[in-house]
Structure formats: C-alpha cells, structure tokens
Amino acid sequence: MIEINNISKWYGSFQVLSDCTTSVKKGEVVVVCGPSGSGKSTLIKCVNALEPFQKGDIIVDGISVTDPKTNLSKLRARIGMVFQNFELFPHMRITDNLTLAQIKVLGRSREEAAARGLKMLERVGLKEQAHKFPGQLSGGQQQRVAIARALAMDPIAMLFDEPTSALDPEMINEVLDVMVELAKEGMTMMCVTHEMGFARKVAHRVIFMDQGRIVEDDTKDEFFGKPRSERAQQFLSKILHH
C-alpha cells in the first residue's frame, strides 16, 4: 500500500532523512518511534507529500508521490492524516470541519457529506458535539473529531503524527481507544507515537528511527523481545520506565 524507497531529505546542508526504506502493507499497522529530532514526523509527512524530499520515491497504492503528473490533491484525499495539534479549523463548526473536504474535494452533496460526517462523529462518540466550535471542546475531543474528519473521506490508509503528544495525560486514552478500534477493523495505519502500550496491543511492525535513519524495522514481537541496536534498547528502557 505504501512503499518508501531510499528517500533522503536535506534542510540546506543538514540531512534530516538518510536513505529510508520501508513499506506498509494493506491492513498493516506500523508504529514509528524514536527520539525527538530523529526524523519520524518528517518521514510520515513525506508520505502524503506535505514535506518535499530530494532523493528517492514513495509509492502509495501504485501512484508515485514525486511524479509531476500525479494529482497530489487527489492522492492526499485518499490518505487520512491526524496531526499532533489536531488542526481542526477553528472558525468552522464541527459539522463543517467534517464536511468541507467531502464537498470540495470528493464532490459529495451537502446532505451526503453531513450524513457521512455525523456517522463518523458517532463512531468516535461525539455526535452531540456536532454544532459546537473546536475551541469549545477538550483536546481529546478535538483529536477524536480530527480522526472522524479524516475517516469521513473514506481513506485507504491513515497517517498519525504523534496524535497524543499534545494531550493532557487523562485524555490520551480516549484517543488511543479510537485508534485501537480502527486498527482492529483492519485499517492500514502508519503511526508516529511514543505510546508503546498502543504498539504492543495492535502494531504489526515497529520502526525505530534515529538521526534520520531507520535503525530498526522489526515485527512487534522481535522489537519488544530484544531490539538489535543499542540505541533502540536505550530508547525503550527510557520510554518504558515512566
């Protein structure tokens, strides 16, 4: 479904990604972890071309992200993305947040989009908040709305960019619960997160990154059993001790 082939990226002379290669199969849940500044967020943003990269290629569902002939808007519309800071549109009601892209990008009718949005909202347990504005919801609720917004587009895969790291501790679980459920339903997911409990529960594979490189790319059991690299062991012990 997602193939990342030898991509490298530089900011000026500083290399943020070096020669990263991996893939996510249909129905697979892949967790990407690593210390801050390791390039994991940058990598996931390359998948839907929010970040340009200078070398390599990414192929999503058979379509090359770098091909100038690719219609990026269309491609992005098929991949859901959830951001660290939710990024709901503050001036729109929750319903409008859910329907905007359905109407403007997918060309759905207003009624159809609203129905679909409401269904997704129900799924994340927030149906009664439909007429509020994002600023009137808690962080956890906003992030669940953001997931619903992405799902309303009927994506073939979902990208999560540290979806819980901006949340207060007591709100993390409500978001993780939604993600776990989604994984169990067979959604293809690529998640940048430090939530190792989530990785243990639903991930098929775990990727560990450090200094712009993919250091480990293991099955979940291998990774939690005993990662090969010292860096990953150190990282795991730090993360799991609190």
Partner 1 sequence: MHLGIFLEQVPDGNMAWWQMLASGLGWTLATAFFAWIMAFVLGSIVGVVRTTDNHWAVRIGDAYVELFRNIPLIVQFFIWYFVVPGLVLAVKRWVVTLDPTQHQFVTAVICLGFFTSARIAEQVRSGIQSLSRGQRNAGYALGLTQTQTYRFVLLPMAYRIIIPPLTSEIMNLIKNTAVAYSIGLVELFFRTREMAEMTFRYFDAFTAATVIYVVIALTANRVMALIERRLAVPGYITGGK
The interface region with partner 1, picked from 11-19, 31-39, 147-155, 207-215 by CB under 8 A, is 147-155
Residues 124-143: x where in contact with partner 1 by CB under 8 A, - otherwise, as a string: --------xxxxxx------
Secondary structure (H, E, C), the chain: CEEEEEEEEEECCEEEEEEEEEEECCCCEEEEECCCCCCHHHHHHHHCCCCCCCEEEEEECCEECCCCCCCHHHHHHCEEEECCCCCCCCCCCHHHHHHHHHHHCCCCCHHHHHHHHHHHHHHCCCHHHCCCCHHHCCHHHHHHHHHHHHHCCCCCEEEEECCCCCCCHHHHHHHHHHHHHHHHCCCCEEEECCCHHHHHHHCCEEEEEECCEEEEEEEHHHHHHCCCCHHHHHHHHHHHCC
**Span of 43-51, 55-63, 122-130, 185-193 interacting with partner 1 by CB under 8 A:** 43-51
By the rule CB under 8 A, 100 interacts with partner 1: yes
Judged by CB under 8 A, the stretch of 59-67, 82-90, 179-187, 197-205 that binds partner 1 is 82-90
Under the criterion CB under 8 A, does residue 54 sit at the interface with partner 1? no
- Binding residue for partner 1, selected from 85, 95, 173, 233, defined by CB under 8 A: 85
Nearest-approach distance from CB 99 to partner 1, in angstroms: 11
Binding site for partner 1 (CB under 8 A): 45, 48, 50, 72-81, 83-85, 87-91, 100-101, 104-106, 132-137, 149-150, 153, 159
